[in-house]
A and B are shown apart, each in its own frame.
Chain A
Amino acid sequence: MRPELERLQLIEQQLLNNPAALPAQDWNVRLLIDGELAADAQAQQQLYHGLRVAGRRQLRQELRLIHERLHAGRFAWLRRLWPG
């Protein structure tokens, strides 16, 4: 992977408590050495929050479709008789 992607991976491992995450002490050393790491990690955390909101939105959309499929059909014959 490109170094930029490896950096995303490194931050992800820390933020999502991946088994490959660095020990806290090593991560703290990286934060001291790399002046942009803390800001990048914060930005990446916001991406994960945004993805969670987007995921919930998609799940709700899927639930609405399931609802329509299961329940809207029950009265479809009525709507055909009395459209509008």
Chain B
Amino acid sequence: MTTSLLSAPAATALRDALLTDRERALTRLYRRAFPLVRRYVCGHGGTAQDAQDVFHDALVVLYEQAVGGTLVLTASASTYLVGIARNLWHHELRRRDRLPHEALPAELELQAAEESADTAEPAFAVLDYVERLGEKCRNVLLAFYYFQQPLTQIAAANGYRSVRSATVQKFKCLERLRNSVRRAFTAETIEY
């Protein structure tokens, strides 16, 4: 099979699978690819926990590329996933060589690499307020803005009668989040 034949439909199929039933699609990828990643990491100076950490990082990268429409597959998704994990593990080994006494969780490293200094700090501040939202609001916002589920699916999953109702609810939740953050920042400004 040629690359051009494989790439677009395979990436689209993966995207659809992740959006339709995330748990099932991720479990399938996990079953296929994790044993290979564990064998590789454990054979190259890492522990089982290291293998799990880089594999989760690789899955996050794959998920974001797949649902964001930027994924180009030239091999199976599992092969691609193993490739990302191997690269991440090499990167981590180089980091450990440079800074042998500084333990940095792979999760933070991935975030640090992808967030600029200007946006990382406010993002972590906002995170606290996302955690404090009610469960329904939190689910709606994450489903739309991170997991990139279509509003039709969000409406059905949360019992909204229409896409329009789900859209209004999404903006109400976003407004609630913004107001919480704004109140907190205003209070901080007054305190100092």
Alpha-carbon gap, A46 to B130, bound state (A): 12
Establish whether residues A8 and B125, one from each chain, have CB atoms under 8 Å apart when the complex forms: no
Ranked nearest first, the 6 interchain pairs of A and B with the lowest CB-CB distance are A55-B146, A50-B126, A49-B123, A54-B130, A5-B171, A46-B122
Which of A17-25, A29-37, A60-68, A76-84 lines the interface with chain B? A60-68
Decide if A28 is an interface residue (CB 8 Å cutoff). Answer: no
In the assembled complex, 8 residue pairs joining A and B whose CB atoms fall closer than 8 Å, in A order, are A44-B174, A44-B178, A49-B126, A50-B127, A51-B130, A51-B146, A53-B126, A63-B60
Asked, given contacts A47-B178, A59-B60, whether A70 binds B145 with beta carbons under 8 Å apart, the answer is: no
Give the dominant DSSP class at A's interface. Answer: helix
Establish whether residues A57 and B177, one from each chain, have CB atoms under 8 Å apart when the complex forms: no
Alpha-carbon gap, A47 to B130, bound state (A): 9
Establish whether residues A51 and B142, one from each chain, have CB atoms under 8 Å apart when the complex forms: yes
Establish whether residues A70 and B126, one from each chain, have CB atoms under 8 Å apart when the complex forms: no
Asked, given contacts A5-B168, A54-B142, whether A49 binds B178 with beta carbons under 8 Å apart, the answer is: no
Specify which chain A residues have a CB less than 8 angstroms from the CB of B174 in the assembled complex.
8, 12, 44, 47
Decide if B160 is an interface residue (CB 8 Å cutoff). Answer: no
CB distance from B78 to the nearest CB of A (A): 15
Establish whether residues B123 and A50, one from each chain, have CB atoms under 8 Å apart when the complex forms: yes
Interface size on B, residues (CB 8 A): 41
Establish whether residues B125 and A50, one from each chain, have CB atoms under 8 Å apart when the complex forms: yes
Alpha-carbon gap, A25 to B111, bound state (A): 34
Establish whether residues B63 and A59, one from each chain, have CB atoms under 8 Å apart when the complex forms: yes
User: Which residues of chain B in 40-66 are interfacial with respect to chain A, using CB atoms and an 8 Å cutoff?
Assistant: 52, 56, 59-60, 63
Decide if A4 is an interface residue (CB 8 Å cutoff). Answer: yes
Specify which chain B residues have a CB less than 8 angstroms from the CB of A56 in the assembled complex.
60, 107, 111, 146
Establish whether residues A51 and B107, one from each chain, have CB atoms under 8 Å apart when the complex forms: no
CB distance from B79 to the nearest CB of A (A): 19
Establish whether residues B147 and A43, one from each chain, have CB atoms under 8 Å apart when the complex forms: no
Of chain A, the residue at the smallest CB distance from B182 is: A43
Which of B6-14, B23-31, B83-91 lines the interface with chain A? B23-31
Establish whether residues B119 and A49, one from each chain, have CB atoms under 8 Å apart when the complex forms: yes
Establish whether residues B127 and A54, one from each chain, have CB atoms under 8 Å apart when the complex forms: yes
Establish whether residues B129 and A50, one from each chain, have CB atoms under 8 Å apart when the complex forms: yes
Decide if B124 is an interface residue (CB 8 Å cutoff). Answer: yes
Decide if B175 is an interface residue (CB 8 Å cutoff). Answer: yes
Of chain A, the residue at the smallest CB distance from B27 is: A66
Please pick, from B31, B59, B181, the residue contacting A63 in the complex, using a CB distance under 8 A: B59
